Structure 1
Amino acid sequence: MTGNQTVLVVDDDKSIVELLQDFLENDGFDVKTAYRATQALDVLKREMIQCIVLDIMMPEQNGFDLCRQIREESDVPILFLSARSDDVDKIRGFALGGDDYIVKTASPAEIVARVKAVLRRSSSQDFNRRILNYGRLTIDISMREVFIEGKSISLTPKEYDLLQLFAKHPKFVFSYEQLLDKFWEGVGDKHTVRVHISRLREKIEADPNHPVFIVNEWGIGYRFKGE
């Protein structure tokens, strides 16, 4: 079912590594393990890895720094694993190029399900040219191009960056404050975000008044739903 896909589990807690390894292997994955960032980098040099489950709080080098280092050379999906549920950590992880964020209180079965979900989203991609497909909307990440029903559309750099952040993290709710911090360095207000989202919807939605891609979470912000 998984086509011998290989997952790298990186965590300094041996019991967590062994537990996740058991569950992933039981579901048909090949699993490589590492307990330090340096070990993880060595594995990535030797092995073809399709997905990484990465602990944030590790000695010597934390998961955020390791993710940044990996992203300099690879677009392999990364799922952060953390004991903390803070939105600050989540947005930082996503900003660094993480594909999902899982709190350690999640069951091993849920973590396996999240790994599968990330791999499904990336199944139509090769990692030299990442393509995100959501029905009539297609995003070519490597070329920074967006297509609606196969036709290329023009987005401003800010509109593209907003869309890519949403599309890479479907269902995650981004607050106004998080979006302001990431794209406007905290300068502006809710109206600033609303104006840019409205302009983006005009370009990607069949009916901007009834969006199916970027939807409101009233009083909070927005999330990417897809069709």
Structure 2
Amino acid sequence: MIANPMKVLVIDDDMPIRKLLRTGLATQGYQILDAGNGKTALERLAQDPALIILDLSLPDIQGHDLIEIIRARNTSVPIVVVSSRDDEASKIRALDLGADDYVVKPFGMDELFARLRAALRHHLQAHGERSVFRSGGLSVDLVRRMVKIGDSHIKLSPKEYELLRVLVQHAGKVLTHRFLLEELWGELTDAQYLRVYVRQLRRKIEPDPERPHFILTEVGIGYRLRQAD
């Protein structure tokens, strides 16, 4: 499986809303899948979105029915309803059918992002995963996609972040060159690509890149990230 940015499926028949969400979510580092109707949305599920934003007013399948169909196929993916319907009955029914949150249009982007992060945190916690990884002075927020050393924010390229994310998700385990190459590039490419990104990542997060504390080399095998505190 290729390690891509977290996918968010936006289901809304209003093109301007989809464009707004696409632009806003892209600034947060998400990969956007979108659908203007229920049929397309169900096709997009095959791409394994990490989170779904759903409008209830769709031209072919009613939003409440779509929640029920999605939940029959995927019991865990977080669903955040974003709808102009503000009546209590619509909210209760959506939540009872399996939606994780309900946001009424018009909405503020900052509030929506906060709701999405909360839904993702709850999902990670429900599956026994930490939303924030900490080891020594290193902190990796898997929801916000933020990396810090102490109080300093570290800016990573998309590929550097994906490498770190894979290491975090398997912290303490030795990951072979083969595994990492397939995760990051989807194929067995030249291992030199991996070495280059490991070297770049170490320069940004290690106190002494020549004597790494976080990303440890297992000679002839691969790499291991020091376990969380």
Give the TM-score of the pair, scaled to structure 2: 0.52
Q: After TM superposition, what 4+ stretches of structure 1 lie above 2 angstroms from structure 2?
A: none
The Cα shift of 1:125 comes to 3.5
**One-letter amino acid of the counterpart of residue 44, structure 1:** L
Which residue of the partner structure matches residue 67 of structure 2? Answer: 67
Instruction: Compare relative contact order (CA 8 Å, sep 6+) and give the higher one, 1 or 2.
Output: 2
The answer to whether residue 116 in structure 2 is matched with residue 111 in structure 1 is no
Distance 2:86 2:18 in 1: 20
The Cα shift of 1:108 comes to 2.2
Which residue of the partner structure matches residue 87 of structure 1? Answer: 88
Residue aligned with 1:61, SS: coil
Q: Deviations over 1:29-59 (max 9, x none)?
A: 11110001010111112x1211000000111
Structure 1 residues 1-227: aligned runs within 5 Å: 4-45=5-46, 47-74=47-74, 75-126=76-127
**One-letter amino acid of the counterpart of residue 11, structure 1:** D
The Cα shift of 1:110 comes to 1.6
Distance 2:125 2:72 in 1: 22
Q: Deviations over 1:60-98 (max 9, x none)?
A: 111111111011110211011110211111110011000
Distance 2:23 2:8 in 1: 12
**Matched residues, number:** 127
**One-letter amino acid of the counterpart of residue 89, structure 2:** V
Does structure 2 conserve the Cα–Cα contact (< 8 Å) formed by 1:19 and 1:108?
A: no
Residue aligned with 2:126, SS: coil
**One-letter amino acid of the counterpart of residue 114, structure 2:** A
Residue aligned with 1:52, SS: strand
Q: Deviations over 1:147-185 (max 9, x none)?
A: xxxxxxxxxxxxxxxxxxxxxxxxxxxxxxxxxxxxxxx
Which residue of the partner structure matches residue 175 of structure 1? Answer: none
Distance 2:113 2:34 in 1: 15
CA RMSD of aligned residues (A): 2.1
Distance 1:112 1:63 in 2: 21
Percent identical across equivalent pairs? 37
Distance 2:98 2:83 in 1: 16
